Chain A
């Protein structure tokens, strides 16, 4: 009955998949695993407490929140919006790629604004639609595609650049988990080994976005020159 110990994995997979309360699912999974492994209740509580305290380092990013809060009050979003607004008169693909670059650089410096809400919806998607629409009227399907691509570009930048910031939740979680597993690694080394994927993702997404231009026939600059 040794395999009963895997109950915790089953609980966490089902719990997340079925969208139960995440905090409760994680704690129930930990409790169930320890109980099945034959750990007594007092020892279980001690194990929970010890494991939580020893992993406090994962939450070190809370220390960066007051600073982000202060600069947010003093125009962080507005400054970013002003910078992005300068991306006018470009093809849809280039707007997307410059936004991708801005997003990756910002992530590397720990600025993880909620991109979909603060930039994609109000700014990037309308700008790309305007750029694509300058050539001719867009079909509803094309508009839907532009919205989806704008959202996707934000996600690519966000996911593959966030580990470039040493105080990000992901980097701290990796360092702490690897330590618990007996293979301690430095957060700064994790950042170093996250660079290749950030660069590769940028290149691949950039090519992908340049090809996106083709479906809007964005060759008007060339034609005007002719």
Chain B
């Protein structure tokens, strides 16, 4: 079954590669983008990695990743000129479909849980199958054709841009940290000044560290990879804490930090600019009291649920 699932997943990675290839082709064709070559290359390289991982040596993929890094470092990846959607078509279709337009999303969410829970295929295959079923549902309902679906796909991928691949790169970084023994080292360093073995203190240390590092870095995902390896595992999981609770509540503890930092510009500074607010920290001021309360609750909740 495991081999079957691995092979089956490969089909979905090829599909992802295909979607990325669409984005690459359209980026190359975007004459108005001064960085069209770099942007096109970025997506095509990713398409090759996703679809061809089975046939490429890891060494080659490693080199390709370095190239992605160089493209990004030298500002050669830009969203460019992405064609928006036709508001009139959208308005007309919204009139016709009403609330049914949400149907494909409901299909996706429910079907993926059903497949994960009631079949031996597991959650990842579940997401793959239900994404395809949801797309077909959407296409049938909206009478979408292949041409517009192609453009809808490339538009979504290109507008997401490099932010879309960041979670996977952070997961890669986490794996490199593990292979280099960084987790053990931070654990050793911290255990010198912090008592290991006290459940509540361990949980508090982990949750607060998630929040603080997210505040500094402005990105909860990045903090998760680093802090879970360095603190979450040795101070909570290794003491008997349930990994799933540690992960779920650790990430949301990080979000408390996101709500309190000007580093998370997309969430806290963007509204200030959009609405021409006078107080630059206005959004953060409204969020800080709730975020603080939530952090305390999460420490308690993790302590209760994990042990």
Footprint of B on A, CB under 8 Å?
2-3, 5-6, 8-9, 12-13, 16-17, 21-24, 26-31, 33-34, 36-37, 39, 42, 44-79, 82-83, 106, 108-111, 116-117, 120-121, 125, 140, 144-145, 147-152, 154-156, 158-160, 163, 165-167, 169-170, 172-178, 180-194, 196-197, 200-201, 204-205, 208
Contact = CB atoms under 8 A, between A and B. Distances in A.
Contacts of B290: 152, 156, 201, 204-205, 208
B191 interface: no
Given A73-B148, A163-B252, A193-B244, A109 B16 contact: no
A66 B19 contact: yes
A221 B75 CA distance: 56
Contacts of A70: 104, 135, 138-139, 142, 144, 148-149, 152
Contacts of A144: 277-279, 282
A5 B277 contact: no
Interface stretch (B33-41, B116-124, B197-205): B116-124
Interface residues of B, number: 153
B295 to A, nearest CB: 11
B182 A33 contact: yes
A120 B152 CA distance: 24
Interface in B176-194: 176-183, 185-186, 189
Contact of A58 (B20, B149, B167): B167
Contacts of A6: 182, 185-186, 189
Residue picked from A68, A75, A83, A185, most chain B C-beta under 10 Å: A75
A53 B49 contact: yes
Nearest to B176: A30
A109 B108 contact: yes
B213 to A, nearest CB: 7
B208 interface: no
A47 B59 CA distance: 8
Nearest to B116: A188
Nearest to A176: B171
Interface string B23-48: 00000000000000000000000000
15 contacts: A5-B185, A27-B169, A31-B66, A34-B179, A37-B180, A50-B61, A62-B157, A63-B12, A77-B90, A82-B98, A109-B106, A110-B109, A163-B252, A170-B167, A177-B225
Given A5-B181, A8-B182, A145-B282, A78 B90 contact: yes
Given A44-B62, A56-B53, A185 B16 contact: no
Residue picked from A46, A68, A200, most chain B C-beta under 10 Å: A68
Contacts of A160: 252, 255, 294
